[in-house]
């Protein structure tokens, strides 16, 4: 009963001042609209950029790194045990880049329930022979099917059919930038020199566009067997194993244990790509900051209109109190006004925010480096709508609370005497 | 069987602005149910100040105020609001009607706040009160469409809505012309005589005061005379 009465009084005051309340509500609507649009767009971009990395990066990479010997001669001297050693003389030795016991590693991993899948790989330096000069390059020997299944290889092959790499012997898919330099097109045969000096002709069956032109200038892909032949190695020769896990968050822990278990170097995605997470979180923080700033500005609008309303309605407040409404009743009336501005303004804001992001979602966005993206990316995460809604209510509540408290403290005697 | 409904015992009040000036000095009196009392006195002698204290709106005083056997001293703001809502009707010099609401709604508001009756019943009662005051035809108008005398009658209806123990008036005809003043005074007389409504009215009008059952005269914050006359 009481609530209904208070709501009724709030409504009447609100309607009597509908122009000002509309302006205040539009302020909230605008800020929530911007908040939703900004966050949807920003996190859409974040997701796109992250997926650029995540789709193609292994969660864990197993390999042998060339590095200096951990144990230097001086470490063996008993006299200097526990001291800090400056003398280091043993340089990296003839390390083998290939992984030992690849078969058993692969078998163990395939039976590990944490592993989603794995793709063996050979990475090797080469020269592309173009006329009189040699361009440095890197050939990635891949298991074509596994690479496509785990790392969406096909998404980045813009010209040609990726399966040709497996089906046509001695074939290569060139990075687009590299191909442009060599004036190579599909069907051409290019010459490649391997690190041990052997020259091999390879047939171009496709072009590859990763999104990073610098990468495409250097990288190209061949099948595992082509790469092994190129290097003159047996079919057990594998330099890297790329692993995808079922749960990416377990990567750091599992990388450590695989490193020890297989006695290889193991790198997890979190360590390799920490800079991307930083970028994402900075962009998200900025979006939130802008959205919340807008809301606070809208909050001041509500604060102003309520203060004005209370100033104009001193007499009404005084008589309400004189006829038996308590201070908290009066407070509830004005908080009610603020909240209804917040709720209606906020709801409209959520709707407009949705429409605006849906609009942005329709705008074409074509860039050579992102072949899979056709329009601006938008993330319709319900979380943003919830945060926007909750924030609009909290800000308007706070904006209304102070004027409402002032109203509740109005002394009717002072007002009535003043007449 | 005369029941005392309001009792002021040794009420003193001073303003501190910035020096302490005593305004009310040792006010003592009782009001029994059905009393028709007027308060007279020169302007500035403390009549309004006293009425604000008696109506529980002003709590900054010394002494005891007992309304319907309940001491007001130490009650919380919300409890005092409840007492005002339930037991006291107040008519000011100015009408204080809310222009956002219809006349009817203005009268209903304290009744809805009390919550004793359903909304329909409160509306019915409000219409009844407006009828007693002869303005039920204006019920659906907005207050600013009414004349000064009509507005004051609406304010009286609002004071009556919860059937209060006592209706207090602070120069309720102060803003009205002679003709409307007479109408309002006649209403008070009718309320007192036909409905046995307890009334405590501050007035400058000697003629009206003379028509009440009891006249309290104040001077310089004191009660200098308190005469009840025997009703014929
Ligand atoms: N807030 C205040 N501060 C100081 N003095 C006041 C205040 N309000 C009223 N007074 C003084 O109190 C006295 C009584 O005022 P009031 O009760 O309004 O008189 P009345 O209603 O009898 O004309 C007056 O002298 C007035 O100047
Ligand atoms: Mg006065």
Secondary structure (H, E, C), A156-167:
HEEEECCCHHHH
Closest alpha carbon to B63 in B55, B72, B76, B52 = B72
From chain A, which residues contact B within 8 Å (Cβ)?
Answer: 1-2, 5, 9, 12-13, 15-16, 315-316, 318-329, 411-413, 416-417, 419
Nearest chain A residue to B115, by CA: A1
Give me the DSSP letters along A241-264: EEEEESSGGGHHHHHHHHHHHHTS
What tokens does A394 get?
């909290």
pLDDT at residue A66 greater than cutoff 80: no
What tokens does A105 get?
């590693």
Q: What is the mean pLDDT of residues B2-13?
A: 92
Closest alpha carbon to B149 in B121, B127, B179 = B179
- Give the span between the Cα atoms of B170 and B92, in whole angstroms: 5
Strand A171-175 and strand A115-130: the pairing is: unpaired
ipTM exceeds 0.85, yes or no: yes
**Each residue's pLDDT tens digit, B84-143:** 999 999 999 998 999 999 999 999 999 999 999 999 999 999 999 999 999 999 999 999
Strand A189-193 and strand A115-130: the pairing is: antiparallel
Closest alpha carbon to A196 in A220, A232, A222, A142 = A232
pLDDT at residue A71 greater than cutoff 80: no
> For residue A368, what pLDDT is reported?
61
Q: What is the mean pLDDT of residues A398-411?
A: 92
> For residue A68, what pLDDT is reported?
66
Measure A55 CA to ligand 2 centroid, in angstroms. Answer: 83
**Residue A192: beta bridge partners?**
A128, A200
**Range of lowest pLDDT (A45-54, A141-150, A350-359):** A45-54
φ, ψ for residue B55, nearest 5 deg: -90, 10
CB spacing of A324 vs B82 below 8 angstroms: yes
> For residue B2, what pLDDT is reported?
74
Q: Which atom of ligand 1 is nearest to the CA of B170?
A: 21
φ, ψ for residue B202, nearest 5 deg: -85, 130
Contacts of A13 in chain B (CB under 8 A): 100
10 Å CB burial of residue A334 (0-12, 13-18, 19+) is: buried
Q: What is the mean pLDDT of residues B148-166?
A: 94
- Give the span between the Cα atoms of A311 and B196, in whole angstroms: 40
User: pLDDT category, B232, cuts 50, 70, 90?
Assistant: very low
> For residue A70, what pLDDT is reported?
66
Q: What is the mean pLDDT of residues A153-177?
A: 89
Measure A317 CA to ligand 2 centroid, in angstroms. Answer: 21
**Each residue's pLDDT tens digit, A201-214:** 999 999 998 877 88
**Range of lowest pLDDT (A117-121, A194-198, A229-233, A275-279):** A275-279
> For residue B139, what pLDDT is reported?
92
Closest alpha carbon to A35 in A238, A294, A264, A285 = A294
> For residue A140, what pLDDT is reported?
92
Distance from CA of B91 to the nearest CA of A (A): 10
Binding site membership of B143 for ligand 1 (Cβ less than 6 Å)? no
Which residues contact residue A257 at a Cβ distance below 8 angstroms, ignoring those fewer than 6 apart?
none
> For residue B231, what pLDDT is reported?
53
Binding site membership of B44 for ligand 1 (Cβ less than 6 Å)? yes
Measure B37 CA to ligand 1 centroid, in angstroms. Answer: 22
pLDDT at residue A265 greater than cutoff 70: yes
- Give the span between the Cα atoms of A78 and A241, in whole angstroms: 40
pLDDT at residue A126 greater than cutoff 50: yes
User: pLDDT category, A354, cuts 50, 70, 90?
Assistant: very high
User: pLDDT category, A419, cuts 50, 70, 90?
Assistant: low
pLDDT at residue A94 greater than cutoff 60: no
pLDDT at residue A1 greater than cutoff 70: no
Measure B222 CA to ligand 1 centroid, in angstroms. Answer: 14
Q: Which domains, and CATH codes, for chain B?
A: 35-46+82-228 (3.40.50.300)
How high does pLDDT run on average in chain B? 92
> Taking the complete model, does pTM exceed 0.95, yes or no?
no
Which of B14, B15, B201 to mutate to test ligand 1, by most ligand atoms within 8 A of the CB atom? B15
Nearest to B96 among A1, A315, A411 (CB): A315
- Helices of type H across chain B: 47-54, 77-87, 103-114, 119-132, 148-160, 178-195, 206-210
pLDDT at residue A10 greater than cutoff 80: yes
- Give the span between the Cα atoms of A127 and A136, in whole angstroms: 5
- Report, in this order, helix, strand and coil percent for chain A, each rounded to 5: 60, 15, 25
**Each residue's pLDDT tens digit, A176-208:** 988 988 888 899 899 999 888 888 899 999 999
Fill in the DSSP letter of residue B91.
E
Distances (CA, A) of A323 to A7, A103, A278, B12, B162: 18, 90, 60, 25, 10
**Each residue's pLDDT tens digit, B47-88:** 999 999 999 999 999 999 999 999 998 899 999 999 999 999
Distance from CA of B131 to the nearest CA of A (A): 21
pLDDT at residue A53 greater than cutoff 80: no
CB spacing of A417 vs B92 below 8 angstroms: no
**Range of lowest pLDDT (A93-102, A318-327, A378-387, B201-210):** A93-102
Q: What percent of chain B has pLDDT over 70?
A: 98
CB spacing of B98 vs A319 below 8 angstroms: yes
CB spacing of A416 vs B92 below 8 angstroms: yes
Contact B57, B49 (CB under 8 A): no
More confident site: A29 or A212: A29
How high does pLDDT run on average in chain A? 86
- Give the span between the Cα atoms of B143 and B155, in whole angstroms: 10
Contacts of B47 in chain A (CB under 8 A): none
């Amino acid at each position: 009963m009481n609530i209904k009465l208070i709501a009724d009084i709030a409504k009447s005051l609100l309607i009597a001042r509908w122009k000002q309340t509309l302006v205040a509500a539009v302020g909230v609507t605008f800020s929530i609209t911007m908040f939703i649009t900004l966050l949807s767009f920003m996190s859409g971009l974040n997701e796109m950029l992250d997926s650029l990395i995540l789709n193609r990066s292994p969660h864990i990479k197993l390999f042998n790194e060339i590095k200096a010997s951990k144990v230097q001669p001086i470490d063996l001297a008993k006299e200097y045990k526990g001291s800090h050693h400056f003398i280091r003389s043993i340089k990296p030795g003839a390390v083998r880049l290939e992984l030992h016991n690849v078969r058993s590693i692969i078998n163990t991993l395939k039976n590990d329930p944490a592993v989603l899948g794995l793709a063996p790989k050979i990475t090797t330096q080469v020269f592309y022979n173009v006329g009189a000069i040699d361009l440095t390059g890197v050939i990635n020997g891949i298991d074509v099917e596994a690479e496509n299944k785990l790392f969406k290889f096909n998404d980045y092959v813009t010209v040609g059919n990726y399966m040709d790499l497996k089906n046509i012997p001695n074939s290569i898919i060139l990075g687009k930038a590299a191909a442009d330099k060599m004036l190579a097109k599909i069907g051409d045969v290019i010459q490649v020199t391997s690190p041990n000096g052997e020259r091999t002709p390879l047939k171009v069956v496709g072009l590859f566009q990763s999104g990073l032109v610098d990468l495409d200038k250097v990288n190209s892909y061949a099948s595992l067997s082509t790469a092994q032949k190129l290097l003159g190695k047996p079919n057990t020769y594998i330099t890297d194993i790329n692993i995808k896990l079922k749960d990416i968050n377990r990567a750091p822990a599992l990388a450590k244990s695989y490193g020890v278990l297989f006695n290889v170097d193991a790198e997890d995605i979190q360590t390799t790509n920490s800079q991307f997470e930083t970028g994402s979180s900075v962009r998200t923080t900025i979006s939130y900051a802008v959205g919340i700033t807008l809301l606070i500005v809208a909050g001041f609008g509500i604060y102003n209109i309520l203060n004005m309303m209370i100033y104009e309605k001193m007499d009404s407040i005084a008589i309400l109190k004189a006829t038996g409404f308590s201070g908290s009743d009066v407070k509830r009336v004005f908080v009610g006004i603020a909240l209804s501005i917040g709720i209606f303004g906020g709801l409209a804001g959520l709707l407009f925010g949705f429409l605006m992001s849906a609009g942005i979602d329709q705008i074409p966005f074509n860039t050579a480096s992102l072949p899979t993206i056709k329009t601006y990316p938008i993330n319709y995460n319900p979380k943003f709508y919830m945060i926007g809604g909750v924030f609009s209510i909290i800000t308007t509540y706070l904006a209304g609370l102070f004027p409402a408290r002032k109203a509740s403290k109005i002394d009717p005697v002072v007002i009535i005497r003043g007449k | 069987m005369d029941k005392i409904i309001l009792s002021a015992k040794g009420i003193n009040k001073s303003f501190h602005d910035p020096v302490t000036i005593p305004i009310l000095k040792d006010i003592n009196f009782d009001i029994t149910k059905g009393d028709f009392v007027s308060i007279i006195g020169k302007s500035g002698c403390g009549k309004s100040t006293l009425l604000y204290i008696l109506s529980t709106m002003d709590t900054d005083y010394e002494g005891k105020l007992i309304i319907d056997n309940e001491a007001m001293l130490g009650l919380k703001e919300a409890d005092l609001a409840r007492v005002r809502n339930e037991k006291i009707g107040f008519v000011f010099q100015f009408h204080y009607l809310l222009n956002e609401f219809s006349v009817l709604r203005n009268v209903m508001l304290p009744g809805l706040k009390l919550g004793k009756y359903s909304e329909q019943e409160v509306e019915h009662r409000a219409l009844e009160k407006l009828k007693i005051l002869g303005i039920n035809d204006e019920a659906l108008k907005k207050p600013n469409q009414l004349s000064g005398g009509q507005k004051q009658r609406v304010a009286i209806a609002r004071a009556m809505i919860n059937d209060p123990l006592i209706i207090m008036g602070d120069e309720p005809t102060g803003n009205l012309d002679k003709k409307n003043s007479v109408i309002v005074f006649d209403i008070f007389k009718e309320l007192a005589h036909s409905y046995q409504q307890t009334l405590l009215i501050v007035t400058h009008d000697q003629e009206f005061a003379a028509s009440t059952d009891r006249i309290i005269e104040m001077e310089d914050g004191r009660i200098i005379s308190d005469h009840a006359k025997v009703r014929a």
